[in-house]
């Protein structure tokens, strides 16, 4: 949510930003909010004036009674009573206007960074840099689900019986490799100075709407029937929500944390070979990182954060690239975002394994995360980034470390988490 001062003082900037995000249907909202805000402030002034006048008149009643001017005192009492009704009506209208304005403001996208590429959808995302040389071996690399099956590590038939489409059983050394990736990512971030946390896996609706747009919530979140609770789609939700309505001391900044959680999402594809494997599922696990910092420091943190993910994947012998997300591909709360994509030697192309985002003060404004400092009380900036998400990260690891004999070479950084195992061999 942007600062309403932007609409008061620079409607054209807000409208131009909406156009850059190809959301022209939202343009009328700007003028609607502008007019509602004028009425809201006018109503507030009238209410404050009426209260002041009521207090003044109430003060006269005692003096008139003391002077035994009963009739005059009764006239003033009647006027005070009628003013009370007027104040109640003004108060009710102020509250109505505030609620309407907030609802409409939640639909206005954040102001994107000047260097965000302009484009309608993810086909206009721009490759910024590659890390590691993409390699296609001379031998064929099977579909990832077939590789995992051959290694005795995947059972989707059983998960179909227990849970339906979009779920899976990981087993044996593959399940162990999956957890090794998460554990390595956790320790990597701890060594970078991040505080490790395991957050709640369910959050209330006021936290959900604080961290994402309504459209995202409807597309992603599973709601617990009969309760005001949602399963998290990523631990960023509960990690940022941890600081809801908090005033953070300057000396405690920046706050940088890394969190583990399972993640639950409604979205799932049903078309094509890739969608039938582990690429898009209802349930996965992730190591996440979040930062809460001073506004002037957020872009520095943004660049640090996505580079951490690059470093992790390169340490696992996986070539990656950074892809700058275009304006139309940015969620409404984001100022700037990039994807880290891993090389798929089987498909001979890159695919997304991580996403890093700077949300400016949008989440902080919605959740009331502030700092009280020399400049007064102001909203902080929030950022989030995927450290490692599996099984998508597992797919990248398996394909890039697949050997001609069907085995998987385990990267050196993961071997300590695998009891020293160097290779996972196919089952006999």
Model confidence pLDDT, tens digit, residues 291-313: 999 999 999 999 999 999 999 99
Neighbours of 32 (CB within 10 A): 14
> What is the Cα–Cα distance from 83 to 61, expressed in whole angstroms?
14
* C-alpha angle 388-325-274 in degrees, rounded to nearest 5: 55
Pick from 319, 306, 314: nearest CA to 356: 306
Residue 367 and residue 410 in contact, taking contact as beta carbons nearer than 8 Å = no
The residues near 220 (Cβ < 8 Å, ≥ 6 apart) are 212, 233, 265, 266, 267
> What is the Cα–Cα distance from 322 to 222, expressed in whole angstroms?
30
> What is the Cα–Cα distance from 321 to 128, expressed in whole angstroms?
7
Pick from 397, 388, 399: nearest CA to 415: 397
pLDDT of res. 276? 67
**HEC profile for 389-405?**
EECHHHHHHHHHCECCC
Model confidence pLDDT, tens digit, residues 317-347: 999 999 999 999 999 999 999 999 999 999 9
Side-by-side strand order, sheet with 222-223: 202-203, 230-231, 222-223
pLDDT of res. 332? 94
pLDDT of res. 277? 80
Per-residue model confidence as pLDDT tens for the chain (428 residues): 899 999 999 999 999 999 999 999 999 999 999 999 999 999 999 998 888 877 777 767 767 777 777 777 777 777 777 777 888 889 999 999 999 999 999 999 999 999 999 999 999 999 999 999 999 999 999 999 999 999 999 999 999 999 988 899 999 999 999 999 999 999 999 999 999 999 999 999 999 999 988 778 888 899 999 999 999 999 999 999 999 999 999 999 999 999 999 999 987 554 454 556 888 899 999 999 999 999 999 999 999 999 999 999 999 999 999 999 999 999 999 999 999 999 999 999 999 999 999 999 999 999 999 998 777 899 999 999 999 999 999 999 999 999 999 999 999 999 999 999 999 999 86
Structural domains in the chain, CATH included, are 4-105 (1.10.287.40), 122-424 (3.30.930.10)
Tokens (6 digits) for 378: 């102001």
Give me the residues paired with residue 263 across strands.
Answer: 284
The residues near 333 (Cβ < 8 Å, ≥ 6 apart) are 1, 109, 110, 211, 212, 213, 359, 362, 363
* Sign of the dihedral through C-alpha 280, 200, 312, 220: positive
Neighbours of 299 (CB within 10 A): 17
> What is the Cα–Cα distance from 400 to 309, expressed in whole angstroms?
17
Pick from 129, 124, 120, 118: nearest CA to 303: 129
Residue whose structure tokens are 């070979």? 273
Query: Residue 392: what are its φ and ψ, rounded to 5°?
Result: -60, -40
Residue 221 and residue 230 in contact, taking contact as beta carbons nearer than 8 Å = yes
Torsion-angle region of residue 253: left (phi > 0), alpha (psi -120 to 50) or beta? beta
Tokens (6 digits) for 317: 């012998």
On the CB side of 296, how many CA atoms lie within 13 Å of its CA? 0
Neighbours of 168 (CB within 10 A): 22
Alpha-carbon radius of gyration of the chain: 28
Neighbours of 261 (CB within 10 A): 23
Q: Could you report how far apart the first and last alpha carbons of the chain are, in Å?
A: 57
pLDDT of res. 62? 67
pTM of the model: 0.90
């Amino acid at each position: 949510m942007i600062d309403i001062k932007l609409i008061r003082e620079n409607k054209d900037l807000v409208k131009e930003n909406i156009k850059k995000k190809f959301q022209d249907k939202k343009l009328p909202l700007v003028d609607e909010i502008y007019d509602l805000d004028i009425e809201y402030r006018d109503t507030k002034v009238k209410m404050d004036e009426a209260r002041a006048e009521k207090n003044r008149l109430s003060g006269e009643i005692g003096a008139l009674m003391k002077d035994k001017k009963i009739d005059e005192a009764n006239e003033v009492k009647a006027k005070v009573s009628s003013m009370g009704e007027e104040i109640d009506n003004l108060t009710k209208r102020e509250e109505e206007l505030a609620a309407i304005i907030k609802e409409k403001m939640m639909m206005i996208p954040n102001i994107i960074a000047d260097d965000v590429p302009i484009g309608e959808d993810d086909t206009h995302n721009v490759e910024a840099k590659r890390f590691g040389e993409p390699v296609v071996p001379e031998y064929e690399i099977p579909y990832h689900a077939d590789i995992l099956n051959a290694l005795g590590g995947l059972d989707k038939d059983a998960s179909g019986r227990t849970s339906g489409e979009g779920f899976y059983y990981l087993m044996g050394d593959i399940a162990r490799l999956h957890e090794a990736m998460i554990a390595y990512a956790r320790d990597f971030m701890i060594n970078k100075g991040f505080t490790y946390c395991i957050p709640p896996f369910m959050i209330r609706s006021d936290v959900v709407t604080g961290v994402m747009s309504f459209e995202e919530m409807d597309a992603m979140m599973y709601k617990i029937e009969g309760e005001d609770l949602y399963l998290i789609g990523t631990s960023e939700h509960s990690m940022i929500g941890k600081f809801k309505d908090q005033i953070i001391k300057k000396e405690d900044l920046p706050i940088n944390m890394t969190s583990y959680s399972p993640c639950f999402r409604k979205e799932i594809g049903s078309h094509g070979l890739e969608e039938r494997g582990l690429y898009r599922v209802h349930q996965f696990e992730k190591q996440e990182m979040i930062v809460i910092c001073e506004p002037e420091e957020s872009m520095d943190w943004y660049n640090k954060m996505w580079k951490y993910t690059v470093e992790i994947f390169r340490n696992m012998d996986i070539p990656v690239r950074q892809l700058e997300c275009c304006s139309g591909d940015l969620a409404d709360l984001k100022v700037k975002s990039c994807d880290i994509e891993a090389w798929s030697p089987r498909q001979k192309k890159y695919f997304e394994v991580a996403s890093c985002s700077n949300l400016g003060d949008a989440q902080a404004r919605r959740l009331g995360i502030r700092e009280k400092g020399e400049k007064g009380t102001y909203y902080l900036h929030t950022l989030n980034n995927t450290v490692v998400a599996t099984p998508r990260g597992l797919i990248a690891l398996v394909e890039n470390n697949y050997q001609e004999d069907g085995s998987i070479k385990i990267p050196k950084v993961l071997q300590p988490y695998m009891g020293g195992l160097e290779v996972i061999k196919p089952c006999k």
